[in-house]
Structure 1
Amino acid sequence: MPQMSPMNWFLLFVFFNFSIYLTLIKVHFSSNSCVLVGLKPAVSAANNMLFMI
Structure 2
Amino acid sequence: METQQIIIWILFLAAAGFMGWRIWKSFDRRNTGGCAKGCGCAADKVTSVKIK
Quick check: which one's helix share is greater? Answer: 1
Higher relative contact order (CA 8 A, sep 6+): 1
Match of 2:23 in 1: 26
What is the aligned residue count? 31
- Pairwise CA RMSD: 1.9
2:12 aligned with 1:15, yes or no?
yes
Q: Which has the larger radius of gyration?
A: 2
Gaps of 5+ in 2: 32-52
Percent of pairs with identical residues = 6
Gaps of 5+ in 1: 35-53
Deviation, 1:6, is 0.4
Structure 1 runs of 4+ with >6 Å offset: none
> Separation in 2 of the partners of 1:33 and 1:17?
25
> Separation in 1 of the partners of 2:4 and 2:30?
36
